[in-house]
Chains A and B, each alone.
Chain A
């Protein structure tokens, strides 16, 4: 029978790699303090995390992975990736396009990713929410949101 590798195995390996990086950073830094240094707690937490990761790894290797369930469809995975990319682009675009314009574009994109095909609610939410938030923060809360660099 083909032996499969469970997700827990990968997670444990990623955790062990991260712990190695953290330990390397902590032990190579010159951290000192009376009786307990700034490195004491993080080093202790990292050591505990390494032990727990080995528990996770041992548990996942000891037991065979259950039969593969029907996973996410390709379209579902694409929607998650698309939403992540749209959000990252929106954050980057806020300073260039300005808060309101970038938000309107993002709201339309996110609405489409979530499956909203109704033009009235899609455009309505895309315009009303950013404008309302802009006025609330800039006029009521007196907190400034990013202005457009491209359009002055």
Chain B
């Protein structure tokens, strides 16, 4: 009881409140700006937290993490440029809703789904921390490979109606991720003698190029105009979320939150995988799959709740095993260590009051996220009032600056421009972009998982069918593939591209 009271008293400190709010505001702004990323913001804020109490310091970092994970959706919805890779799945339906004059509805659902996802994730962290950690330990390379293959079936799901082109985009994504140093053996591959390619294609350059730059190029081809997209009133009738829409989105939010909770516990996966898995599964189970990508509110809710449901359970491996699940928690590990807190089983025994305070802090940050998100929405929606002639040069400048400060390499900025041209031509020739991103994200997971599993099994493929979790995922992948193939078979043939 003393531990509980001491822990709760720690977050009653006004400094904790202030730091959480500051972190959330910084996180939302950083997340919304294409090219800037949450790990960078967390790393810069880390030294500031050293002079604070452990809980106040972590409050700021948790705020940046939660705010940044959500912030990526704002630019995805309003200007079709995802601020973070995890917001890519949000961009399709979010930007379609904006074009339909329903930016307010999209922003609201994005916030609500994000906060619900976070809340479920926080509760999972608090109530099932230890059992979830033991589940995460069961994920070895074989299971990672099988999960990667299951997630790869999303390429097929998101390509329905345009299967060959979607599969081509997904395979190109898989291939692009294989440039540079092999992560297991250190051998160079596909560098074509170019020294700068030894590190592979920078992911940030790929995402920003293929979304922000290609969008700017596509906008430039439209007629000369300084027309605005049409200002949107946040509280107008068409931007209200109706009860029927809530009924449609609630199952998607619940399902995607559980996916996010599971993905969060497994080190190395991250919110982008959770968002794509949630979105793909949402489309597979939807009564109207063709609405996905054309402004489906449940599609947006799936992606956002899955994406944000990672933020709580990412701390499971960190707190229980001392293993950071991603770059952000790896940086946060530094904050724990500086304050003399060593994550692992001993943390629960020796610093019970801190654990209580940390759990309460997660809930506090989620509640404040809702308040700040609601207040900030009115400001962010003003973007729809800015003319394209002003907005797109700023987006391009932000994109170039963001890639430069992230990689500190001019070559990667040129790479971003190259991917922008690729994205532009993909749009022109009717190739979907999301499968390319999915292939790129999943490629290391699949390759490393496969090769490590082969080493463990001494070259036997039996390992993929004798381990229950791996076999389960591969079975699911087969079922989804057959379902997609069946639906595609029954679909009328799509028209081919016009002559050039």
Q: Would you call A125 and B178 a contact (CB within 8 A)?
A: no
> Chain B residues near A69 (CB, 8 Å)?
498
> Chain B residues near A122 (CB, 8 Å)?
389-390
Q: Would you call B429 and A72 a contact (CB within 8 A)?
A: no
> Chain B residues near A72 (CB, 8 Å)?
221
Most-contacted residue by chain A among B190, B223, B421 (CB, 10 A): B190
> Chain A residues near B221 (CB, 8 Å)?
72, 76-77, 79-80
Distance (whole angstroms) from the CB of A94 to the closest CB of chain B: 7
Q: Would you call A111 and B499 a contact (CB within 8 A)?
A: no
Bitwise, B488-500 to A at CB < 8 A (1) or not (0) is 0000010111111
Q: Would you call A79 and B220 a contact (CB within 8 A)?
A: yes
Answer whether residue B486 sits at the interface, using C-beta atoms and an 8 A cutoff: no
> Chain A residues near B404 (CB, 8 Å)?
94, 145-146
Q: Would you call A7 and B429 a contact (CB within 8 A)?
A: yes
Q: Would you call B498 and A46 a contact (CB within 8 A)?
A: no
Q: Would you call A137 and B496 a contact (CB within 8 A)?
A: no
**In the assembly, what is the distance between CA of A111 and CA of B165, in Å?**
34
Which of the residues A41, A87, A145 comes within 8 Å of B446, measured between beta carbons?
Answer: A41
Q: Would you call B396 and A87 a contact (CB within 8 A)?
A: yes
Distance (whole angstroms) from the CB of B200 to the closest CB of chain A: 12
Which of the residues B175, B187, B389 comes within 8 Å of A116, measured between beta carbons?
Answer: B389
Q: How large is the interface on A (under 10, 10 to 19, 20 to 34, 35 or more residues)?
A: 35 or more
Q: Which residue of B lies closest to A112 (CB)?
A: B389
Distance (whole angstroms) from the CB of A4 to the closest CB of chain B: 4
**In the assembly, what is the distance between CA of A148 and CA of B174, in Å?**
39
Known: A8-B429, A49-B168, A125-B390. Contact between A41 and B178, CB under 8 A? Answer: yes
Q: Which residue of A lies closest to B186 (CB)?
A: A38
Q: Which residue of B lies closest to A82 (CB)?
A: B220
Which of the residues A40, A42, A52, A71 comes within 8 Å of B167, measured between beta carbons?
Answer: A52
Residues 36 to 58 of chain B near chain A (Cβ within 8 Å): 40, 44
Which label, helix, strand, loop or mixed, suits the secondary structure of the B interface?
helix
Q: Would you call A91 and B414 a contact (CB within 8 A)?
A: yes
> Chain B residues near A5 (CB, 8 Å)?
499-500
> Chain B residues near A59 (CB, 8 Å)?
164, 496
Answer whether residue B397 sits at the interface, using C-beta atoms and an 8 A cutoff: yes
Which of the residues A34, A41, A55, A114 comes within 8 Å of B174, measured between beta carbons?
Answer: A41
Residues 87 to 126 of chain A near chain B (Cβ within 8 Å): 87-88, 90-91, 94-95, 99, 103, 106-107, 110-111, 113-118, 121-122, 125-126
Known: A6-B497, A26-B189, A56-B164. Contact between A94 and B410, CB under 8 A? Answer: yes
> Chain A residues near B382 (CB, 8 Å)?
none
Answer whether residue B105 sits at the interface, using C-beta atoms and an 8 A cutoff: no
Which label, helix, strand, loop or mixed, suits the secondary structure of the A interface?
helix
Distance (whole angstroms) from the CB of B206 to the closest CB of chain A: 16
Distance (whole angstroms) from the CB of A109 to the closest CB of chain B: 8
Residues 17 to 56 of chain A near chain B (Cβ within 8 Å): 22, 25-26, 29, 31-36, 38-42, 45-46, 48-49, 52-53, 55-56
Q: Would you call B220 and A90 a contact (CB within 8 A)?
A: no
Q: Would you call B389 and A88 a contact (CB within 8 A)?
A: no
**In the assembly, what is the distance between CA of A1 and CA of B175, in Å?**
40
Distance (whole angstroms) from the CB of A34 to the closest CB of chain B: 6
Distance (whole angstroms) from the CB of A50 to the closest CB of chain B: 10
Answer whether residue B182 sits at the interface, using C-beta atoms and an 8 A cutoff: yes
Residues 172 to 209 of chain B near chain A (Cβ within 8 Å): 172, 174-175, 178, 182, 184-185, 187-190, 192
Q: Which residue of B lies closest to A130 (CB)?
A: B397
Q: Would you call A40 and B40 a contact (CB within 8 A)?
A: no
> Chain A residues near B396 (CB, 8 Å)?
87, 106, 110
Answer whether residue B398 sits at the interface, using C-beta atoms and an 8 A cutoff: yes
Answer whether residue A147 sits at the interface, using C-beta atoms and an 8 A cutoff: no
Q: Would you call B187 and A129 a contact (CB within 8 A)?
A: no
Answer whether residue B394 sits at the interface, using C-beta atoms and an 8 A cutoff: yes
Which of the residues B167, B184, B414, B424 comes within 8 Å of A80, measured between beta carbons?
Answer: B424
Q: Would you call B393 and A125 a contact (CB within 8 A)?
A: yes
> Chain A residues near B182 (CB, 8 Å)?
31, 33, 38
Q: Would you call A7 and B498 a contact (CB within 8 A)?
A: yes
Distance (whole angstroms) from the CB of A83 to the closest CB of chain B: 4
Q: Which 10 interchain pairs have the tightest Cβ spacing?
A: A116-B389, A115-B224, A110-B393, A38-B182, A35-B454, A4-B499, A65-B499, A7-B497, A42-B178, A114-B389
Besides A38-B185, A130-B397, A137-B401, 10 other A-B contacts (C-beta < 8 A):
A7-B498, A8-B496, A31-B185, A66-B495, A66-B499, A79-B221, A80-B424, A115-B389, A133-B398, A141-B40
15 contacts across the A-B interface (CB closer than 8 A)? A6-B498, A22-B190, A36-B450, A38-B184, A45-B174, A56-B164, A59-B164, A65-B499, A66-B498, A80-B217, A84-B417, A118-B389, A125-B394, A126-B393, A129-B394
